[in-house]
Amino acid sequence: MSYIPNTDADRAKMLAAVGASSISALFDHLPQEVRDAADFSALPDALDDISLRRRLLEVSGKSVTMDSHPCFLGAGIYDHFIPPTVGFVTGRTEFYTAYTPYQPEVSQGVLQSIYEFQSLICQLTGMDICNASMYDGATALAEGVIMAADLTKRRKVLLPSSLHPAFRQVVETYLDPLGITIETLAHDPATGQLPVMADSEAACVVVQSPNFFGTIEDLKAHADAAHAHGALLVASVDPISLGILETPGACGVDILVAEGQGLGCFPAFGGPLLGIFCCKKEYIRRIPGRIVGVTKDTDGNRGFVMTLRTREQDIRRDTATSNICTNQALFALAATVYLASFGKQGMKEVATLCVQKAHYAAEQLASLPGFSLVFSGAFFKEFVIQCPSDPVALNKKLLAAGILGGLPLPGNQMLVCVTEQRSKSEIDQLVECLR
């Protein structure tokens, strides 16, 4: 942590500024019974710096991390390699401490980084428009569904049963006060994929690909079916998969969202995250959040400005598309540096490694007595395996062997994730431990 020196004179000035006579006076507002109950007599004596550092290292060494244990857990948060360029750029103070760039004359660096993020995401997804990012993939999906209902003037949405449960919960929370009904589309229990269907009352069909089970969906077929009924296709994707899969833009997706954590952001106990939101150009006026654009100043020099803000703080409430207040600029910057570092070929290689290693792991696990693949559909980096016994107990066995297992699912099933980070020896160790 940072060391901030304060002298007795500094502390006296700060106390005087807030009108307190002493540090203890800062707690005078607490009821006396609360202060009397604060018994710190059992605390050990303070440690010197050397002993304190040794103690902290001892305690932190008890933690199980993705660095100490090979991780086969995914389900929305992934262990992808983060190149050192990401931390170098995002750690610069001009980015690390910057807030919302309302004033373009003093925020050119931040505005340019957001503009580059938008440009790179559009290249990756094949979509026309990308906003300046959102909180996470789940809220981005909820905003996309609301946007579809607004565009079509319909009050029903179709959600797949193969959608990430956390995404579904957020969508349900957003839609409940708006009176938009949800109809669930069941996935094929054999393939794990969503049958192509739509109806003329639905505002949109939501498709996640790869879905929660890791299975890849046919976005073009779903887009054609939705459009035939006057509905929109809202797709949620894994951006890493776009290194080898056809772009959503080429498939006819109308609104695209994604969780961008895998693009250079640490798992960090599940957040904060990075929401990606894209759409076709004709829907730009209804997109939530904000868009940064490029222009020229009076001297003809290139400059970056906040081009569009459709939130209710900036325009009339009845014409606002969302009350989303900010964006994840620091994580969008991380994704920008990640994409720039790998480039088109690098993204293809990362995605290819995920596919190859995940399929090797699936084949090896399915060869074990009592284990089998649950779905036959094509998958990217995650798959569901049927286990012969309780996956929670299996995970305890794996943890004892120094391995972080997959996500337990009902029916003695486990969702296993294999990214480019996993080596053949680690996969073989997983298989051998479950043998």
CATH value at residue 423: 3.90.1150.10
* Contact predicate 287/277, CB 8 Å: yes
- The verdict on 333 and 372 lying in the same domain is no
What average pLDDT score do residues 412-424 get? 98
pTM above 0.95, yes or no: no
Does 51 map to a domain? no
pLDDT of residue 306: 86
Q: What secondary structure, in 3-state letters, does 295-345 show?
A: EECCCCCEEEEEEEECECCCCCHHHCCECCCCCCHHHHHHHHHHHHHHHHH
Report the DSSP beta bridge partners of residue 233.
205
pLDDT of residue 372: 98
Residues 6 or more apart whose Cβ sits within 8 Å of residue 367: none
Does 279 map to a domain? yes
User: What pLDDT digit, counting tens, does each position of 193-240 carry?
Assistant: 999 988 999 999 999 999 999 999 999 999 999 999 999 999 999 999
* Contact predicate 166/140, CB 8 Å: no
Q: What are the tokens at 163?
A: 């959608």
Average confidence score pLDDT of the chain = 92
User: What pLDDT digit, counting tens, does each position of 301-337 carry?
Assistant: 999 988 887 665 566 666 666 767 667 889 999 999 9
> CA-CA distance, 102 to 383, in Å (whole number)?
44
Of 405, 397, 424, the closest CA to residue 66 belongs to 405
Residue keyed to tokens 């009902």: 410
b/e per residue 201-232 (b: at least 16 CB within 10 A): ebbbbbbbbbbbbbbbbbbbbbbebbeeeebb
Does 56 map to a domain? no
- The verdict on 311 and 172 lying in the same domain is yes
Q: Where are the alpha helices (DSSP H) in 67-156?
A: 84-90, 93-96, 108-125, 137-152
**Domain end among 300, 321, 338:** 338
Does 75 map to a domain? no
Quote the percentage of the chain above a pLDDT of 70. 94
**Domain end among 318, 338, 358:** 338
- The verdict on 368 and 244 lying in the same domain is no
- The verdict on 328 and 352 lying in the same domain is no
Half-sphere exposure of 168 (CA within 13 A, CB side): 16
- The verdict on 261 and 315 lying in the same domain is yes
Report the number of distinct structural domains present in the chain.
2
Does 23 map to a domain? no
**Domain end among 305, 322, 338:** 338
Identify the band that residue 101 occupies on the pLDDT scale cut at 50, 70 and 90.
Answer: low
Q: In what order do the strands lie in the sheet with 413-417?
A: 372-373, 382-386, 413-417, 407-409
Measured in degrees and rounded to the nearest 5, phi and psi for residue 134 equal -135, -175
- The verdict on 126 and 220 lying in the same domain is yes
> CA-CA distance, 271 to 275, in Å (whole number)?
11
Give me the domain span that covers residue 330.
Answer: 84-338
- The verdict on 168 and 226 lying in the same domain is yes
Quote the percentage of the chain above a pLDDT of 90. 76
Does 159 map to a domain? yes
